[in-house]
Structure 1
């Protein structure tokens, strides 16, 4: 029970990181026997949808039971004074999450990074003017200090004052690098007591007050809005590319047109799972799981169905609701 609980606790940590920090919506679920880690009792996953309609296994957690403990004779002294084989769990994410970040949010101009994980959250680009050089430099320094905070632990901000590059060149470079927010400060802005802010995700241009407290508050709010917008956009894309199917023909049609996830009833047999894969190229990504009454993820009712429906393949009574997709 403790091994199962720990496995699901880590799965929730992975789900939270993917959604709250990477702004990537994921489906937590149980892997089928054919997709399960060899030797494990259960394998849980978080599944994400990429912008090309393919799924990505973004992280897995395994309840290994006692299988490997018995193979390697790993024991502990129980409270009853008896040596017993341990129950193990194993979990991990990998660099594929970086690829997921690029594919989910990126566009034709380059990276689009969620503010919470962006190494640089804000870049300040001065618009040069010989007559107003000193006042612009002072305004840039003031803005940087306001955002970074007195201890440097505020907004992660950079100033691009390289003289050898034009502002336009800098705009393109920082857009390609995915920095969430760009601030422009030129002679007109200094006179108006403002800074120009440009969002990387939408390209929207805004004018913010240059006063220290007001600027810091406005930028912080904007970064949170960008984080939220990126997640909501990715979730809307996933919902638009999640279909229902009651036959293999319908699964195949989705895979050949819009792609994405297909929710379909499944009898639980490996034969039907293999037949759908052979026909459509789609595998069962997971049997979705939800949180129990205590607010913790539970694998007890993975892929539970409401009512009686037929299997998408064999037309016998279905036992599970499964998510199918072509995947990396």
Structure 2
């Protein structure tokens, strides 16, 4: 199928405004890294998502879900085929003590909606930069809470383009993992079961967590958030700090001076420089402490030609 024909098919499913050709992905990731997508599609309805997946299957076009690009590094060679971003599916509503959020909504905004409705249980998420879909994908957590604690159910599309409603326990949610990637699910919506609470108490917790995050995390530079999972019995940031790596720089990528668990794009870094610095940190910590740091951040895409 020719490139023009794919484009025509995509705009017939959604609209011209929702299909970008040869779009630089650094415009769509928190790290500000990444080469071009052949087609970047931003569907506006669940049915459009299903139809795009069916098109990719039928025409055997490579398909990648980008999420909102917060916990992700896209390589400098970009991504072939269709790349989907769900940031236009961002509705959040409340029914009783349940908050229902579409997958492109920010998990931060979902926790703020819970506060507005005087519902407790999502306070931990008030500083997590990702989307709702991404939060389920990796069972995101912070400050002692995680998605697993409050998720009731989710609506997903499977790799055939079919809609499924799943319970939280169907997702195998564990520390920073779920079975969503293995099953090829795309999250469209999540229902969080919360409890009634006191507005001032909920807000106080959120204000405290926001202060902790802003005082400790390097929010002044683009980054993918926490790069490594917490190794059993250790803290990744402390191991990196104790290895003397803070401030280490490869090209424009730097191990943050504010929080060693973060690598920041300090000065127009390439994805290659960022990934090289991740490998350097892993090798140094392994050599000094015998601990293997496992990546929390996903790396996708192709190396530059």
Shorter-chain TM-score above 0.5: no
Q: TM-score, normalised by structure 1?
A: 0.25
Q: TM-score, normalised by structure 2?
A: 0.27
The structure that has the greater radius of gyration is 1
